[in-house]
Amino acid sequence: MKYSTRGPRAPAGEPLGEAGSAAKPLVFSLMHAAHTVEARLEAALEAVGLSIAKHGVLQLLADAGEPLTLSELAEQSSCVRSNITQLVDRLEAEGLVQRVDDHDDRRIIRARLTRAGVDRHAAGAKAFAAVQAEVASAISSSDRAVLDRLVSRLG
Amino acid sequence: MKYSTRGPRAPAGEPLGEAGSAAKPLVFSLMHAAHTVEARLEAALEAVGLSIAKHGVLQLLADAGEPLTLSELAEQSSCVRSNITQLVDRLEAEGLVQRVDDHDDRRIIRARLTRAGVDRHAAGAKAFAAVQAEVASAISSSDRAVLDRLVSRLG
DNA sequence: GAAGATTGAACGATCAATCTTG
DNA sequence: CAAGATTGATCGTTCAATCTTC
SS3 B109: strand
Asked if A25 and B131 come within 8 Å (Cβ–Cβ), the reply is: no
| Residue B14 pLDDT exceeds 60 | no
pLDDT digits (tens, 9 = 90+) for B134-152: 888 877 777 778 777 777 7
Confidence (pLDDT) at B21: 43
Asked if B151 and A9 come within 8 Å (Cβ–Cβ), the reply is: no
- Return the closest nucleotide (C1') to the Cα of B1: C12
> Which of the four pLDDT bands, split at 50, 70 and 90, describes residue B10?
very low
> Which of the four pLDDT bands, split at 50, 70 and 90, describes residue B4?
low
Q: Provide the sign of the torsion angle of the four alpha carbons B134, A1, A6, B49, taken in this order.
A: negative
Chain B window 68-97, residues with Cβ within 7 A of nucleic strand D: 78-80, 82-83, 86-87, 90
Q: Residue A74's closest chain B neighbor by CA?
A: B4
Question: For residues A36 and A31, what is the distance between their CA atoms, to the nearest angstrom?
Answer: 8
SS3 A97: strand
Confidence (pLDDT) at B23: 55
Cβ atoms of residues B51 and B57 within 8 Å:
no
| Residue B95 pLDDT exceeds 50 | yes
Q: Residue B23, class by beta-carbon neighbours within 10 Å (0-12 exposed, 13-18 middle, 19+ buried)?
A: middle
Q: Provide the sign of the torsion angle of the four alpha carbons B61, B64, B66, B70, taken in this order.
A: negative
Question: For residues A21 and A144, what is the distance between their CA atoms, to the nearest angstrom?
Answer: 22
The pTM score is: 0.87
pLDDT digits (tens, 9 = 90+) for B46-90: 999 999 999 999 999 999 999 999 999 999 999 999 999 999 999
Distance of CA B154 to the CA centre of its chain: 19
Strand positions, DSSP E, chain B: 68-69, 97-101, 109-113
Sequence-ordered list of residues with C-beta below 8 angstroms from that of B62, at least 6 positions apart, any chain: B113, B118, B121, B125
> Low-confidence residues of chain A, pLDDT below 70?
1-23, 155
- CB contact, 8 Å: A75 with chain B? no
Confidence (pLDDT) at B11: 44
DSSP bridge partners of B82:
none
Asked if A155 and B1 come within 8 Å (Cβ–Cβ), the reply is: no
What are the CA-CA distances from residue B81 to residues B59, B72, B73 (Å)? 17, 9, 8
Q: Please, which positions of strand C sit below 7 A from a protein CB? A: 3-9, 11-17, 20-22
Question: For residues B38 and B60, what is the distance between their CA atoms, to the nearest angstrom?
Answer: 19
Asked if B34 and A29 come within 8 Å (Cβ–Cβ), the reply is: no
> Which of the four pLDDT bands, split at 50, 70 and 90, describes residue B91?
very high
| Residue B32 pLDDT exceeds 90 | no
- Chain-wide mean pLDDT for chain B? 86
- Cβ B2 to strand D below 7 Å: no
Nearest partner of B60 among B121, B126, B137, B131, judged by Cα: B121
